[in-house]
Chains A and B, each alone.
Chain A
C-alpha cells in the first residue's frame, strides 16, 4: 500500500532517546514495500525503455503497409500526396504515415480504456475508500495483477494502490500521442515501437479497470462456473418496462440495478444491455440480460423494446439519441465522455428530471451522478412504459413492399455496404412481394446503417432488413457465461502437464468487436472447432456473445456444451473489453508459475518467454475499433500473434514473417549459446485472413512454438495438417520448416511427411531452450 504527500509536524516531543522540537517531515511518497521479489530492469518503462525488444520483433515481423488512405491531411500544409514514394510537406513518407495512424489509433484505444479505468477507480474510491482490498480470485489467485506487476513493478493490494498505476499509464499515453504530432517521430519502426508501447500501457489500464470493479462490485472471481446468462431479445419479457444500457462503463448501470432492487422492482422490470456494459451488468446482477453486440444498437432501438435508453461510454452510436427519439424512448447520457449535447441535470431533483422526461418536455438529459441515473431511469421506465406501449419505428411488411417499388436500383446501398451485401436484388424482390432475400440479409447485416445514408430515395433499408428478419430477432434466446474474470493460478498449474505433453495443442483467444464479414456464426464455428480439438478457447466482449448465440445438434449453446474452465476443450468468457487483460495476464502467469521467472518490472524477459514458448493466438474476427487496435498491440509486444478478419485490413498494416528467409528464424539456445534455426514459429505477428476456413488453418499453424516438445509439436502439426487437408484439399507444403526431429512427425502421417521432408531436403536439428535475448544464455555453473 502506497501513500502520497505525507506531511508530519511535531512541535515538541520528548522521548528517552531524544528531544524533538518543531520537526516537519514531508514525504512525497511513502511506499510500503513488503514485496520481496527483486525489481527487474524496466519498472514503469519509458517510451524507449523496451525499444530494443520492439525492434527485435519488428525485424522478425516486418510491417507490411496497406494504406487505407494515401493522403495526409493532419496539418495545414496538406493535404499531402504520399503515393509512389512521395514525401509530405513535413518529410514523412507513406510507411511512417501509416504507422503514425496506427500509433494514433493505439493511443486512442489505450486512452479510452485508461480513461474508463480512471473513472471507475475514482468513483469506487469515493464509494469504498482507498484501503478497500483488491481480490480477484480468493485463494486460487496469488498473482492478482500480473500485467501491472510486470509493467510497473507495483503489486497493488488496495484500490488506492491503483492510482499510482493509472498515473503511469496517463503519462505514457500523453507521450505516445504527442509523438504523433507533426515533426516529431519520423521513422516508421519508431512509430511502431511506440504503438507497441501504447498497447502495453493499454493492457495495464484494462487490468486496473477490471480488478477494481471485480473486487468492489463482487463480480465472479476467476470462477469457471460463473452463471449462465440469458441472451437475446427473445429472453426479455417485453411486457415489463425495459431499461437498455449501451456502452462499456458499468457504474451507471450499478446505480440502476441497485435502485431497482431497493425499490423492490427487480421482478417488475428488465435491465438489458448492448456491448460490454451488458457483460458487466450480468457480472453484477445475474438477472440482467444481454441483448446483443455493439452492432445491434439500431436494431433494438428501432424495434422499440427499450423504454429508457441509458448511454455510457465507448462504441455508442452517436445517433442513438435521434433514433430513440423516434420511438419516444427518453435517453439518459451518463458519461462525461459522451454528453450527447444534453443539458446537465446532475444537480436537479430526480423527480423533476423524471417528470420532464416522461412528459416529453425534454427527450434526453445528461446525469453524471450514477445513483441519480439509477433513480431517474427506473422511475421513467416505470411511468413511460404504459404510455409508449413499445412503440417502434419499423415499417410494416406492406409498407416495405410498396416503398421498395420506389427503388431506382442505383446500387449505391450495396456499394456503401461494408459487407457488400446484395441489397438491390433483395429490394427488387421485396417490390415483387418476396421478402425472403431481405430476410436472408438479417444474419449477415452488421447494423451500420450506411445503406440508408447512401439511398437517394431515403429508403429505410436497415429497418426493412430488421422487419424482414423480425421473426429471428424475436426468437433470439441463448445463453452466455457471465464474464469470469481472471484465470486461476491453480488452473494454469493444472494445464502445465497437458500442454507439455501436447494434449492441449494451444490456446485460442477469440476477442473483440462484431464487424464480422458474415455474421457471428463464424465465431461460433471457429470456437467450437478448436474446443472440440481440445484447445483452450478464451472469449471476451462481443465475440463472447456471438460464441453463445448458436446451438449444437442437441440444442446446447457453446457455454453449455463446453466447460468454463481453463482446460482442454474449455470455453471461457473472461468478460468485457477490459477483461482482455486477464488473457495477457494468464500468459504472463505461465512464466511465473512454471519457470519461476520474476515478473516485477521484467517485461522483456517475460515477453521473450511468452513469444518463444506459449502457443497462444488471438483472433479478433470482427475488430473495428481503435480499442481493438490497442488490445492487439499489447499482444504484439508480448510476442503473441493476432489474426483479424477481412475488415482488419483497414488497420493499415500487417506484421509478417518471411518463411522464405531462414536467417530471420534464428534463436539462441539458452543452454549452449548456439544459434538454432527454429523455423517460422510463430510465422506472423499480425495477419488479416479472409475466410473462417483460412483462419482455422492459420490458427493451428500459429500455435507452433520453438520450445514445443516432440509430443506437443506432433499434435500441433496433426491439427494443422488435418485442417489444411480439409479446407485446401492437400498436405501443407511447409511442413519441413516445422519438423526438428523425426519424433515431431505425427505417428499416423509418417509416410506423407517423409515424402515432403525428402523433397525439401530436410535436415534434423535440435529443440533449443529458445530465447531472442543473449543475456538469457545460461552459463554452466561449476
Chain B
C-alpha cells in the first residue's frame, strides 16, 4: 500500500462493512452510550485552511482506556475554487466511507449519531493515534475529490470541547437540511442524470433534480453534482436543464434532449412531476411504486419491503414488473421514498391530494411531509385491503379524490367488471364446451351435419376490452 505506507494497518475498500464486536474492541468513540458526538464538514475560504493540518483536541487514542466509550467530534474543513456550501453534506458523508476503509476501524451512522470502534488487533499493530486516521482521511479526500484543494481535519475528544461545539453542529445540520429542502428545481440551471443502472437496464436514465431523488434513493442532486464534478465523463453527468416547456408537468428541453440521446431515442419526452403520458422511467431497483387505481381515480403507493398485497390486490413485485426496464407506462411510477418528501411529488397529478393508499410503514416515514388536511384521509393496509373498502374509507373521510368521482361513476364500474372476468378465467378453465367452440355468427344460420373437426392445437386467449383511461 504505497499510498498508505506510513499507516500501521491496511487501508482498502474490502474493509467496508467490517464489524467489530465488543470483545474485540480497543475503544468506542460515540455510540449509544455517549450523548454528545458529531462529525461535520465545513466549506471555508481558501485562506482559512492550512492544507494537511491534523489537530487533536483532548486525549489521543493511545491515552484512552481500553474498553471505554468516549465523546468525539470530527471536523473536516475544506476549501476549493469550485467548492460551495451546498457540497458540505456530500463531503461529510465521505467521512463514513473513507474511515470504513481502515482495517479494524468501524464507522456507523452519520452526523450526531456516529458510532466508531477500533479493534484491539489494529491498535496493537500501531493504529493508536488520530494522526494516522487523519492522514487516511486527508489523502482520500485529496485524491478522490479533486475539487477539494485544501483540507484540514480536527479530532476532538475533550468532552467539554465536544459539548461546546455540539449545538453548533446541530444547528449546521438543521440549516443545511432546510436549505436543501428549500432548493427548488427552478432555482438551479443544472440537473444531473445517472446511467449507472444501464449496466442492467440499458434503456433507463434517471433524472435527478433538487426536488427529485434518484429512483433508488441513493443519489441526491448534491451527490449528483459532486460526482459529475469529480468525473465529468462518468455515469453521473450534468444536464443543462434548458428551457422550461411545461411548469406544471415538469418538462424541460434539456432533459428531453439528454434522455433521448441516452436511451437511443426510446424515450423522447419526460414529464418529471406526473405518472401520466410521459412519466419518468424506472430501472428495477426503485424503492417504491405509485400506481393508478382507476376505481377511485387516485394513486396507491407500495414500497419494496411491503410483504402483502396492496389495495388493488396486486403485490409490489407485480406492480413493479409493470413499470421496470426503462419504459414509460401510463399510471405507474417507480420512485424513491425521498421523492415523497418533495413538494414536486406527483404534483401535476394533485400530489398528496391524489394519494389514497400507502403502507403504514411508509406513511410513518414520510408523515411530516404529508399535508395535515389530508394525512388522515389516506388509507393504509389497516384501513382498507380492497378497492371497495378503500372506496368507502375515502368517502367516509371525504378524501379530495371523492370530488372527482361524480363525473366518472360509469367507467369505474366497467373496470371492476373487467377485473372479475380476469379472475374467473384464471381459476377455472373448461376443457371444451359448446360455447368455446369457434362458432361465431351474426345473422347467419349455420348447420353442421356429420362434421368432424380435428385440430393439432387450439390456442385460447382472453379477449380484453380496452381499459378506460382517466386523468
A interface residues with partner B (beta carbon < 8 Å): 1, 3, 6, 8, 10, 13, 15, 17-34, 139-142, 488-490, 492-497, 499-501, 503, 533-534, 568-569, 590, 593-597, 613, 670-671, 707-712, 714-715, 718-719, 722, 741, 743, 746-752, 767, 769, 778-782
Q: Say yes or no: B304 contacts A30, CB within 8 Å.
A: no
Within 8 Å CB of A534, what residues of B? 16-17
Q: What are 22 contact pairs spanning A and B, CB under 8 A? A: A8-B434, A10-B434, A18-B448, A19-B449, A20-B449, A28-B456, A28-B457, A31-B460, A34-B426, A140-B316, A490-B304, A490-B316, A496-B285, A497-B197, A569-B17, A594-B324, A595-B203, A596-B324, A597-B325, A711-B196, A749-B1, A751-B2
Complex Cα spacing A769 to B203, Å: 10
Whether A749 and B317, one on each chain, are in contact in the complex, defined by CB atoms closer than 8 angstroms, is: no
| A494–B304 CB distance below 8 A | yes
Within the complex, what minimum Cβ distance (angstroms) separates B438 from chain A? Answer: 10
**In the complex, A25→B317 CA distance in Å?**
41
What 8 A-B pairs have minimum CB-CB distances, sorted nearest first?
A: A596-B325, A496-B285, A781-B265, A18-B446, A594-B284, A139-B315, A594-B200, A497-B216
Q: Are A500 and B197 in contact (CB under 8 A)?
A: yes
Contact B458 A18 (CB under 8 A): no
> Besides the contacts A1-B429, A595-B326, A751-B3, what 8 more A-B pairs have beta carbons closer than 8 Å?
A23-B448, A26-B455, A30-B432, A142-B317, A594-B285, A595-B200, A769-B202, A779-B264
Q: How far is the CB of B141 from chain A (nearest CB, A)?
A: 11
Q: Check A6 against B318 for contact (C-beta < 8 Å).
A: no
- Find chain B residues with CB under 8 A from A33 CB: 459-461
| B201 interface residue per 8 A CB criterion | yes
Closest to B1 in A: A748
B residues in contact with A782, CB < 8 Å: 265
Residue-wise interface mask of B (300-324) relative to A, using a CB-CB cutoff of 8 A (1 in contact, 0 not): 0000110111000001111011001
Known: A19-B447, A746-B12. A493 touches B140 (CB 8 A): no
Tell me the bound Cα distance from A722 to B446 in angstroms: 79
Query: Is the Cβ of A493 less than 8 Å from the Cβ of B3?
Result: no
Distance in angstroms between the alpha carbons of A200 and B326 in the assembled complex: 29
Any chain A CB within 8 A of the CB of B407?
Answer: no
Residue from B140, B432, B457 within 8 A of A8 (CB atoms): B432
Contact B196 A749 (CB under 8 A): no
Which residues of B are found within 8 Å of A746, using beta-carbon distances? 12-13
Give the distance in Å from the alpha carbon of A3 to the alpha carbon of B444 in the complex.
Answer: 31
The answer to whether A743 touches B234 (Cβ under 8 A) is yes
| Interface size counted on chain B using CB atoms at 8 A | 79
Tell me the bound Cα distance from A767 to B202 in angstroms: 12
A711 vs B144: C-alpha distance when bound (angstroms): 13
- Min Cβ gap B362→A in Å is 15
User: How many whole Å from B259's CB to the nearest CB in chain A?
Assistant: 12
* Chain A interface helix/strand/loop/mixed: mixed
A709 touching B196, Cβ below 8 Å? yes
A489 to B322, CA, bound (A): 13
B308 touches A139 (CB 8 A): yes
A780, B260: Cα distance in complex, Å: 9
B246 close to A (CB within 8 Å): no
Residues of chain B contacted by A569 (CB below 8 angstroms) = 17
Convert B445-471 into 0s and 1s, putting 1 for each residue whose CB lies closer than 8 angstroms to a CB of A: 111111111111111111000000000
Interface hits, B240-273 → A, CB 8 Å: 264-266, 268
Does B199 sit within 8 A of A, measured CB to CB?
A: yes
Measured between beta carbons, the chain B residues less than 8 angstroms from A590 are 200
Please name all residues of chain B whose beta carbon is closer than 8 Å to the beta carbon of A671 when the two chains form the complex.
202, 264
The chain B residue sitting closest to A705, CB to CB, is: B199
Q: By the criterion CB–CB under 8 Å, are B200 and A17 in contact?
A: no
Residues of A within 8 A of B326 (CB): 595-596
Interface string of B386-403 (1 = CB under 8 A from A): 000000000000000000
Do A781 and B201 touch (CB < 8 A)?
Answer: no
- Asked whether, in the complex, the Cβ of B304 is within 8 Å of the Cβ of A781, the reply is no
| Any A CB within 8 A of the CB of B171 | no
Chain B hits for A15, CB < 8 A: 434
A718 and B460 contact, Cβ closer than 8 Å, known pairs A21-B450, A23-B451, A496-B283: no
Q: Tell me which residues across on chain B come within 8 A of A490, comparing CB atoms.
A: 304-305, 316-317
Nearest CB of chain A from residue B166's CB, rounded to whole Å:
31
For the complex, give the distance between the alpha carbons of A499 and B1 in Å. Answer: 26
B203 to chain A, nearest CB (A): 8
Contacts of A710 in B (CB 8 A): 231, 234-235
Q: Does B183 make an interface contact (CB < 8 A)?
A: no
B2 touches A752 (CB 8 A): yes
Q: Is the CB of B445 within 8 A of A18?
A: yes
Partner of A30 from B196, B327, B431, B453 at Cβ < 8 Å: B431
Tell which of B197, B309, B458 touches A29, judged by Cβ atoms closer than 8 Å. B458
Cβ-defined partner of A22 (8 Å) among B198, B268, B451: B451
B14 within 8 Å of A (CB atoms): yes
Give B133-171 as 1s and 0s: 1 = Cβ < 8 Å from A's Cβ atoms.
Answer: 000000010011000000000000000000000000000
Query: Is B81 engaged at the interface, CB distance under 8 Å to the other chain?
Result: no
Asked if B264 contacts A20 (CB within 8 A), the reply is no
- Inter-chain contact A708/B13, CB cutoff 8 Å: no
Q: Given the complex of chains A and B, what is the CA–CA distance between A101 and B1 in angstroms? A: 48
Contact of A3 among B216, B308, B431, B447 (CB under 8 A): B431
Cross-chain contact B321 with A708 (CB below 8 angstroms): no
Are A707 and B199 in touch, CB under 8 angstroms?
Answer: yes
Nearest chain B residue, comparing its CB with the CB of A708: B199
Docked-complex contact B449 and A22, CB < 8 angstroms:
yes
Q: Please measure, in the bound complex, the distance between the C-alpha atom of A751 and the C-alpha atom of B425, giving whole angstroms.
A: 65
Whether B3 pairs with A749 at a CB distance below 8 angstroms is: yes
A497 to chain B, nearest CB (A): 4
Q: Which A residue's beta carbon lies closest to that of B460?
A: A32
Q: Is the CB of B325 within 8 A of A496?
A: no
A715 to B437, CA, bound (A): 61
Complex alpha-carbon distance, A583 and B462, angstroms: 33
B460:A613 contact, CB within 8 angstroms:
no
Knowing A30-B432, A31-B460, A782-B265, the reply to whether A748 touches B4 (Cβ < 8 A) is yes
With known contacts A18-B448, A140-B315, A781–B200 Cβ distance under 8 A: no
Q: B439 within 8 Å of A by Cβ?
A: yes
Minimal Cβ-Cβ distance residue in A for B21: A554
**Does residue B188 face the partner (Cβ distance < 8 Å to A)?**
no
A602 to chain B, nearest CB (A): 14
Q: Which residue of chain A lies nearest to B139 when distances are taken between CB atoms in the complex? A: A748
- The CA-CA distance from A22 to B449 in the complex, in Å, is 6
Contact yes or no, B196 A17, CB < 8 A: no
Q: Smallest Cβ distance from B440 to chain A, in angstroms?
A: 9
Residues of B within 8 A of A747 (CB): 13, 140, 143-144
B101 within 8 A of A: yes
Residues of A within 8 A of B316 (CB): 139-140, 490
The answer to whether the Cβ of B233 comes within 8 Å of any Cβ in the partner chain is yes
Query: Across the interface, which residues of A come within 8 angstroms of B198, CB to CB?
Result: 769
> Which of chain B's residues has its CB closest to A138's CB?
B315
Closest A residue by C-beta to B446: A18
Residues of B within 8 A of A769 (CB): 198, 202
**Which residue in B202, B324, B425 is a CB contact (below 8 Å) of A670?**
B202
Q: How far is the CB of B18 from chain A (nearest CB, A)?
A: 8
Query: Which among B17, B200, B439 has the highest number of chain A CB atoms within 10 Å?
Result: B200
Asked if B143 and A750 make an inter-chain contact with CB atoms under 8 angstroms apart, the answer reads yes
Does A781 lie within 8 Å of B431, measured CB to CB?
Answer: no
Contact partners of A29 in chain B: CB under 8 A: 456-458
A156 CA to B417 CA, complexed, in Å: 26
B200 lies within 8 A of A496 (CB): yes
Query: Do residues B197 and A496 form an inter-chain contact, with CB atoms below 8 A?
Result: yes
Q: A18-B448, A493-B320, A751-B3 are in contact. Are A6 and B432 (CB under 8 A)?
A: yes
Chain A: CB-nearest residue to B19: A532
Neighbour of B218 across the interface among A13, A23, A141, A501, CB < 8 A: A501
Across the interface, which residues of B come within 8 angstroms of A497, CB to CB?
Answer: 197, 216-218, 285
Given known contacts A500-B199, A596-B201, A748-B4, is B455 in contact with A28 (CB within 8 Å)? yes
- Which B residues between 1 and 59 are near A, CB-CB below 8 angstroms? 1-4, 11-14, 16-17
- Return chain B residues, CB-CB under 8 Å to A719: 14
Q: Is B410 an interface residue (CB 8 A)?
A: no
A613 to B198, CA, bound (A): 10
